[in-house]
């Protein structure tokens, strides 16, 4: 099982005035005891509801929150209109461990091509300025930092995961739809983009996968175990969901 960047869900839709919205319905997840509606920065409308919630009650909840959903989606779309694709030039903002750093690109024809962090900046030295080369260097830098960070956080999280008898192996692999996954044999795969999120978010994903070593599905026992080792995991997941669009792009 895995931690999805966009969780698997059922689909439903509703109308507010002339506007039609497609929604992701998550039932019985995250110990939901009431119907909760959230609009994400990428304009996804997500509804979390108890397993026994009836569809008519979910539709009523959406209708009652129609104006709020409309306003949230409108504001996020305005932000997207002004969000330019990354150009990989000096002055751009990039994330690392939950913080933002300004990118500084220096062209040095004779120097070693390298990325380093200094005084709140990510400095990239290249022989010739090229967005493709700068992106490749940054990707390599993030993967190297990810391997170091994930190994350290795994060590810390294993102190809580008392059910794990042997240290699992970690593989770092860029994935479009998942933050992490755990194979039936206990191999944990983590997305290097995750290193752009806070340590708390990294710990959440690692703990999620460690819980799958004990329970390889999203059962009630699985969520009970998650609650024991990370009582605030739902809020942490929300934080990760909210910044997913920004750190993956």
Residue 50's Cα: distance from chain center in Å?
A: 23
Q: Alpha-carbon distance 232 to 28, whole Å?
A: 18
Beta pairing, strands 93-96 & 99-107: antiparallel
Return the DSSP state at 192: G
pLDDT in tens, the chain (249 residues): 667 665 556 788 889 888 899 888 887 655 456 888 888 877 888 888 888 888 899 999 999 999 999 998 888 887 666 666 788 999 998 999 999 999 999 998 887 899 999 888 999 999 988 999 999 999 999 999 999 999 999 999 999 999 999 999 999 999 888 899 999 899 999 999 999 999 999 999 999 999 999 998 888 889 899 999 999 998 999 889 888 878 886
Identify whether the C-beta of residue 207 lies closer than 8 Å to the C-beta of residue 225. Answer: no
**Structural fold of domain 93-248:** Zincin-like (3.30.2010)
Instruction: Using alpha carbons, list the distances in angstroms from residue 79 to 57, 74, 204.
Output: 32, 9, 28
Domain boundaries, the chain: 2-82, 93-248
Return the DSSP state at 196: G
Residues with Cβ within 8 Å of 87's Cβ and at least 6 positions away in sequence, in order, are: 131
């Amino acid at each position: 099982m895995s931690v999805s960047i966009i969780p698997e869900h059922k689909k439903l839709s509703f109308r507010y005035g002339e506007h039609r919205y497609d929604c992701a319905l998550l039932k019985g997840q995250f110990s939901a005891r009431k119907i909760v509606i959230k609009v994400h920065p990428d304009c996804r409308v997500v509804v979390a509801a108890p397993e026994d919630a009836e569809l008519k009650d979910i539709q009523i909840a959406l209708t009652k929150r129609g104006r709020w959903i409309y306003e949230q989606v409108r504001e996020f779309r305005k932000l997207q209109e002004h969000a330019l694709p990354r150009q990989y030039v000096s002055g751009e903002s990039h994330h690392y461990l939950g913080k933002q750093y300004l990118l500084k690109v220096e062209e040095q024809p004779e120097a070693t091509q390298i990325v380093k962090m200094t005084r709140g900046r990510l400095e990239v030295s290249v022989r010739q300025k090229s967005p493709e080369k700068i992106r490749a260097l940054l990707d390599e830098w993030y993967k190297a930092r990810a391997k170091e960070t994930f190994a350290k956080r795994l060590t810390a999280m294993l102190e809580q995961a008392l059910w794990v008898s042997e240290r699992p192996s970690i593989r770092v692999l860029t994935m479009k739809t998942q933050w992490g996954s755990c194979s039936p044999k206990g191999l944990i795969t983590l997305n290097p983009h995750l290193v752009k999120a806070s340590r708390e978010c990294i710990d959440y994903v690692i703990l999620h996968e460690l819980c799958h070593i004990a329970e390889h599905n999203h059962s009630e026992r699985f969520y009970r175990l998650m609650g024991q080792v990370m009582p605030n995991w739902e809020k942490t997941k929300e934080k990760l969901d909210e910044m997913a669009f920004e750190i993956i792009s």
